[in-house]
């Protein structure tokens, strides 16, 4: 039995070679202040090793198909001129586990290259992180990239005792069994280490974005209210935004959305959700919509952009994992593209019903993750809009909501819009201040 490597909330991670000058280790005598960093000439980033209570899921292990490494780091892309106006905190994708079976070392090791989660920290310089892409609107932003190696959507806070999976025994990888490796669902502590550093080095910004792809998309959504509170965005007048690439949280009827979050300890950490929602999360009755709506309402001036393909194959595989458990592999009866889109759009419609600051961007097809691609700005929506144009408009002072190809409603009466036809045949829109 093997799982396809890129199915369950996985997003490709680009491992980047770095020089000694592009590494900084936090200690009592070393704060790794952004002004003192020497970014890599390769991609303009620095890896920061925070130590302390940070770590990845499992202790160190290597065989021919599986590797785990306990050491955690996060990655910083400083503005080359140390302009601190704009900051994006971006959460990496890379799989998930949902229960005792899928969170066990024996299961993940036995799956090898097809493991359902990433078990070592990786750096990246792909897509929105790539400073060399000419039309990358984030190429001059300060970016704190939060790697993902815990399988808990960046928010877990639980230690699982070693568990021997009976299903793992069927996979025929005896070297992975009987090792008694503890599982550390440590995403919350890892995230807090990155946020602590970011807040010390970028305490007062004009624009703050929390973003993520795949499992990192859910991480960005979950941490959004807490990050807005840390930066005190309302009092400071900071423009606060959330960009969620390729995960909404559509789940089968037999799953509320909070079961796996409760299992991984997410319900017990400070995410800024109100007490009644936390109680529902602990009781495993909270729905995806209920939890995310509470986070949207926690910062009502926040601007949200959801990017998804209508038939996202990876999200549909994860849907099947929740519905059938790992026993259901190879998941031959996936929810249809139409039914998945119906469920996903119902969730996003609910968000738009409570906030006029929700923008959606739907792409035809089954692709998973857009912002990690070199050509991310050129993806076209089902209404003929280019993702680069939409993001640039979304970054404008006034939030937008795309209603149709011919009509873009600006949520401020002082902004006008028009559509133009470019020489290359693409339609675009231009925002004009009144």
As averages over each run of 10 residues, the pLDDT of the chain (434 residues) reads 43 40 92 97 96 98 97 98 98 95 96 93 97 98 98 98 92 95 98 98 98 98 98 97 97 94 97 97 97 98 97 96 87 95 98 96 98 98 97 77 42 35 38 31
Backbone angles phi, psi at 431, to 5 degrees: -95, 135
- Please tell me the distance from the alpha carbon of residue 189 to that of residue 200, in angstroms, as a whole number: 17
Q: Say which DSSP state 364 is in.
A: S
CB 6 within 8 A of CB 12: yes
Consecutive H or E run containing 208: strand 207-213
- What pLDDT is attached to residue 354? 97
* Confidence (pLDDT) at 329: 76
Is 73 exposed, middle or buried, given 0-12, 13-18 or 19+ CB atoms closer than 10 A? buried
Q: How far apart are CA 330 and CA 172, in angstroms?
A: 17
Average pLDDT, the chain: 89
179 alpha carbon, distance to own chain's centre: 31
All structural domains of the chain with their residue ranges: 42-396
> For position 289, what pLDDT does the model report?
96
Per-state percent for the chain, helix, strand, coil, to nearest 5:
30, 20, 50
* DSSP code, position 12: -
The DSSP secondary-structure symbol of 269 reads S
Give dist(CA 136, CA 116) in Å, integer.
Answer: 30
- pLDDT at res. 430: 36
394 with 305: CB under 8 angstroms? yes
Separation CA 92–CA 211 (nearest Å): 9
Nearest to 325 by CA among 415, 419, 254: 254
**Cα 76 from Cα 217, distance rounded (Å):** 19
The pairing of beta strand 74-77 with beta strand 142-146: antiparallel
Tell me if residue 402 falls in helix, strand or coil.
Answer: strand
Please, what is the Cα angle at 126 between 196 and 71, to 5 degrees? 45
Q: Specify the CATH class of 42-396 in words.
A: alpha beta
DSSP letter (8 states) at residue 334 = P
Q: What angle do CA 98, 103, 107 make, to 5 degrees?
A: 120
Per-residue model confidence as pLDDT tens digits over 301-338: 999 999 999 999 999 999 999 999 888 878 899 999 99
CA angle (425 as vertex; 213, 376 as ends), nearest 5: 15
CA nearest neighbour of 128 among 93, 81, 90, 94: 90
> What's the predicted TM-score (pTM) here?
0.90
């Amino acid at each position: 039995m093997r799982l396809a490597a890129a199915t369950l909330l996985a997003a490709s991670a680009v491992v980047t070679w770095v020089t000694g000058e592009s590494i900084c280790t936090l200690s009592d005598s070393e704060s790794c202040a952004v002004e003192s960093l020497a970014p890599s000439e390769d991609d303009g980033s620095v890896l920061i090793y925070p130590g302390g209570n940070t770590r990845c899921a499992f202790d160190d292990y290597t065989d021919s198909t599986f590797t785990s490494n306990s050491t955690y780091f996060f990655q910083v892309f400083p503005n080359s001129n140390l302009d601190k106006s704009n900051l994006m905190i971006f959460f990496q994708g890379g799989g998930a586990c949902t229960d005792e079976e899928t969170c066990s070392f024996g299961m993940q090791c036995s799956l090898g290259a097809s493991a359902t989660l990433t078990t070592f920290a990786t750096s990246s310089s792909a897509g929105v992180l790539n400073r060399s892409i000419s039309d990358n609107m984030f190429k001059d932003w300060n970016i704190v990239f939060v790697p993902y190696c815990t399988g808990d959507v960046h928010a877990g806070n639980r230690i699982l005792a070693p568990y021997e999976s009976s299903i793992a025994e069927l996979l025929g990888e005896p070297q992975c069994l009987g090792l008694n490796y503890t599982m550390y669902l440590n995403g919350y502590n890892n995230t807090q280490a990155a946020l602590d550093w970011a807040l010390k080095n970028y305490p007062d910004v004009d624009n703050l974005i929390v973003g993520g792809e795949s499992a990192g998309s859910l991480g960005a959504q979950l941490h959004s209210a807490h990050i807005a509170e840390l930066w005190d965005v309302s009092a400071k007048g900071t423009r606060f935004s959330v960009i969620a690439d390729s995960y909404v949280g559509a789940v089968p009827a037999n799953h509320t959305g909070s079961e796996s979050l409760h299992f991984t300890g997410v319900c017990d950490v400070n995410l800024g959700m109100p007490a009644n929602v936390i109680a529902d999360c602990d009781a495993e009755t909270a729905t995806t919509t209920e939890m995310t709506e509470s986070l949207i309402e926690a910062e009502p001036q926040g601007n949200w952009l959801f990017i998804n393909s209508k038939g996202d194959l990876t999200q549909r595989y994860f849907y099947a994992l929740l519905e059938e458990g790992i026993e259901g592999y190879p998941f031959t009866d996936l929810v249809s593209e139409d039914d998945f889109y119906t469920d996903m759009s119902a969730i996003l419609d609910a968000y738009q019903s409570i906030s006029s600051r929700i923008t959606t961007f739907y792409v035809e097809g089954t692709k998973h993750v857009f912002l990690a691609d070199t050509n991310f700005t050129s993806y076209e929506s089902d209404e003929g809009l280019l993702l680069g144009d939409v993001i640039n408009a979304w970054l404008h002072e006034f939030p937008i909501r795309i209603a149709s190809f011919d009509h873009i409603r600006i949520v401020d009466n002082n902004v006008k819009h028009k559509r133009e036809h470019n020489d290359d045949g693409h339609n675009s829109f231009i925002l004009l201040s009144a």
